[in-house]
Amino acid sequence: MATSPPTEKTEIVEHVVLFNIKDEEEEHHPSKVNDMINGLNALNSLDSVVYLTAGPILRTRSLPPSLKFTHMLHARYLTRADLSHYSLHDAHVSVVNSLVKPLCDDVMAVDWSAQLVGPTIPRPGSGMRFTFFKVEDDDGVEDEKAKETIFEGLKKIKESLGVYEQKSYGENFSDRGKGFGVASLAVFPDLNELDASEEYEDQMRSLINKIKISDDHIIAVDYVVPRLTPVTP
């Protein structure tokens, strides 16, 4: 029997944090890195969180020379108020202060609102490609025409994706985004599907060429949703 394509739409808030763990910490204190990742993943139990996982970045496809990231967190919330509640929650503040700040020398956060078709909780093993665009000049002035062109292109790409793929995009509202004002996420069933996504890559490259944006104004990273192990009391 053929499976009907998902049609239900859900308003969601996407939250992505990119971390760079200091070289010496990752090399000499792997247990501390594990503690940080486990501490972040434990936050998925907070009431305001729909979905949250943290883990290593699988690979970086594009990154400005001035930036380096090794790990990331991806979470979803129903509203911006839920994201704010999560950010201010004592458990989150404790993890950031005790586990993240001592290990990381750079952190970047990107948040955007999106309308999802399909599951709000990605399956473990799903392959994800995050792309962030900086559409501003050296003085911090945004190019509204370029931004509009990006959104039009991302909409067309979303409409062309297959039934079992998910596309999310929107305008970043985080003040920790290092000037990257547009965010895009493509979710594939697994890593093999992500690696075989030649059509998606061609569409994104065509969009980038159309807006004539330089590589140092793009961040593109791949991530595989980890399978979390329940915490035993």
Q: Is position 43 within any domain?
A: yes
Residue 229 pLDDT = 63
Domain count, the chain: 1
Q: Is position 4 within any domain?
A: no
pTM comes to 0.92
Residue 187 pLDDT = 96
Which sign, positive or negative, has the C-alpha torsion 117, 226, 110, 93? Answer: positive
Q: What share of the chain is helix, strand, coil (3-state, %, to 5)?
A: 35, 30, 35
Residue 112 pLDDT = 98
Residue 101 pLDDT = 96
Mean pLDDT of successive 10-residue stretches along the chain, which has 233 residues: 58 98 83 96 96 97 94 98 98 98 97 94 96 82 87 92 86 96 96 92 92 90 86 42
* 74-111 residue pLDDT tens: 999 999 999 999 999 999 999 999 999 999 999 999 99
| Local structure of 156: helix, strand or coil | helix
Q: How crowded is the C-beta side of 131, counted as CA atoms within 13 Å?
A: 25
Residue 1 pLDDT = 36
Cα–Cα distance measured from residue 73 to residue 52, given in angstroms and rounded to the nearest whole number: 7
Bridge partners of 182, per DSSP, are: 133, 171
Decide the pairing of beta strands 182-188 and 166-171: antiparallel
* 166-179 residue pLDDT tens: 999 999 999 999 99
Q: Is position 106 within any domain?
A: yes
Q: Is position 207 within any domain?
A: yes
| Local structure of 171: helix, strand or coil | strand
CA nearest neighbour of 11 among 55, 65, 50, 45: 50
**Domain containing residue 113:** 9-224
Q: Mention every residue, 6+ apart, whose C-beta is less than 8 A from residue 6.
A: 117, 118, 119, 163
Q: Is position 70 within any domain?
A: yes
CATH number of domain containing 18: 3.30.70.100
Helix 198-211 × helix 144-160 angle, to 10°: 160
Q: Is position 66 within any domain?
A: yes
CA distances from 13 to 71, 112, 129, 149 (A): 20, 6, 17, 22
Quickly count: other Cβ atoms within 10 Å of residue 119's Cβ.
14
Q: Is position 125 within any domain?
A: yes
Q: What is the CA radius of gyration of the chain?
A: 17
Q: Mention every residue, 6+ apart, whose C-beta is less than 8 A from residue 172.
A: 110, 111, 112, 132, 180, 181, 182, 183
Q: Is position 233 within any domain?
A: no
Residue 6 pLDDT = 56
